[in-house]
Amino acid sequence: MKNARIAAFSIATAIAALVLLAVAAFGVTGCSKTPPTYRVTATVPVGKWASAVAVDPGTHTTYVTNVDDSTVTVIDGSTRTVAATVPVGKGPGPVGVAVDPGTGTVYVANQFDNTVAVIDASTRTAVATVPVGDHPMGVAVDPGSHTVYVTSAGPEIPVSVIDGSTRTVTATVPVGTHPVGVAVDPGSHTVYVANQFDNTVAVIDASTRTAVASVPVGTHPGGVAVDPGSHTVYVTNGGDNTVSVIDSR
Model confidence over 213-241: pLDDT tens digits?
999 999 999 999 999 999 999 999 999 99
Long-range contacts of 229-235 (CB under 8 A, 24+ apart): 231/185, 231/187, 231/188, 233/183, 233/185, 233/192, 233/201, 235/181, 235/192, 235/194, 235/201
Residues of the chain with pLDDT under 70: 1-32
Total Cβ atoms within 10 A of residue 225: 14
Model confidence over 9-23: pLDDT tens digits?
343 444 344 333 343
User: Is the CATH number of domain 50-247 2.60.120.10?
Assistant: no
SS3 of 124, please?
A: coil
**How far is Cα 45 from Cα 206, in angstroms, rounded to an integer?**
38
pLDDT number for residue 12: 41
What are the domain boundaries of the chain?
Answer: 1-36, 50-247
In one-letter notation, the amino acid at residue 9 is F
Q: Residue 225: beta bridge partners?
A: 234
pLDDT number for residue 231: 95
